[in-house]
Structure 1
Amino acid sequence: MTRKRRQFDASFKLEVVKMIRDQGLSVGEVCRSMDLGETGVRRWLAQYDAECAGGAGAGKPLTAEQQRIRQLEAENRQLREDNSLLKKAFGLLCTGTEVSYRAVAHLQEKAVSVSAACRVLGVSRSGYYAHRRAKPSPKRLHEQTHIRAAFAASGASYGSRRVMHAVREQGLRTGRHRVRTLMREADLRTTWKRKFVSTTDSKHTLPVAENVLDRQFDVAEPNRAWVSDITYIRTAQGWLYLAVVLDLYSRKVVGWSMAPSMPAGLVMSALTMALQQRRPVPGLVLHSDRGSQYASDAYQALLKRHHVVCSMSRKGNCWDNSVMERFFLNLKMERVWQRRYANHDEARQDITQYIVGFYNPVRLHSTLGYLSPAAYEAKSTAKEPICLSEIT
């Protein structure tokens, strides 16, 4: 069976290289998430490094102030990485809470209140007193270790149902109520606060498309129906807007783009990434809301050029694009609302890491039988029969 060679333009290659060089992602992570070959990506990296070494695009020497700023940025980045590593390591250690409880008892002997000690060490008073009353059995310690590891690996975002499926993949046969009890005792819970800013401007005179998708969210094949939308990310530097394209078949994010404003180019950039990655056949349905970006002439021309069928939600009806809305809610609960981004670059790096390093390859999805989008696509590909007409 001969596989058609994929072609990528220079702008797409540059975006992939920047994702690896500027945002600290590994070649393997990017290739698995975007379905690219490692040999080709490493060739792009070598070409980029050779061009930089040859003086292409070289600017003036940095001033002393610019060098100091670069040094401070590097130090801050290293401190954030070290702090994140310590938090993850502490959460994965089965003795982490035990050590904290012993520290609380020691501070209590030094006339420090239990409530103050628990607050500083990040443990609950109820958990501390429960620990003093009884010691867990070896079986309970074994279960708690797996549960803590699964919760920490999810970025403190999984509830009891997903934690249960995660530990079952590790060979621990336990029920949801048991997992929920152990999580409650260990004070493992997600915290988030909903915020709202409107990103849709449907008060325009541009033509809109019919609702072709009509809430048919269960799709039997990849690259048959996609959904897209825009959301906002709060940073200390101002709003950062995120456009995403998602394949309904596997709920995989196949394209995304971020910018400090919401022009039509934002959604076109996300769609271009998706088209470059997936190479869909003509007839793909792409659903969105009625925002001016999606109704613009430039965006519609891009759809027509690639033979993509445009579909739009009914006016003021968020349920027509509920799958996309749910992804944005998961993104914010599991990552954005747990962070305070200092600037746009920090937010870009973290959100890209969420998509490439967690959501696509790792996050368990209830609609997919508690498989990740990447695992679901890999499983379905393995089951596909070989078409004799494709063998040359």
Structure 2
Amino acid sequence: MCSILKISRASYYKWLNKKPMEDKNSLLIKQIQEICEKNNRLFGYRKMTMKINKISEKPVNHKRIYRLMSLLDLQSVYRPRKRYPKNANKQQTAKNVLKRQFETSKPNEVWVTDITEIHIPGLPKLYLSSIVDLYDRSIVSYKLSLRNDSQLVDETLKLALKNNPGHVG
């Protein structure tokens, strides 16, 4: 029969002794359902694949996980996006005292400040608040924080006043 079908005997016996995929899939289905229950159905097929590959000895293809999750009608729950108001209420704005004249004649006469957002992969955003003396462009003080708020600016200013007792104030 193998010679008529042009199949090697080894291939026939391999096919004959092959375990059905349903056994492997049933184990995977149980794992998928357990993970879904633990995580409140927040995992999609990509995260589910990563989680199952950490648990099992043999890696599982993401397409197989996708197919099984579709059969079980398990879809990740999408969280709604946060909506931010486009026109936020503007608070107090300081007067433009410098009028773009950034040259000074003595130290500690004019300080300027800036907040920089720093992105580091794998970590939350950091905010760097710094105060610069316009006389020699030196850093008077700086502070790092996880939040961009008025407390960050206040702490930076307090640190600058503490470190520079000869400031004009």
TM-score between the two structures when normalised by the length of structure 1: 0.20
Q: Which has the higher helix share?
A: 1
TM-score between the two structures when normalised by the length of structure 2: 0.45
Q: Which has the higher strand share?
A: 2
Q: Whose RCO is larger (CA < 8 A, sep 6+)?
A: 1
Name the larger-Rg structure: 2
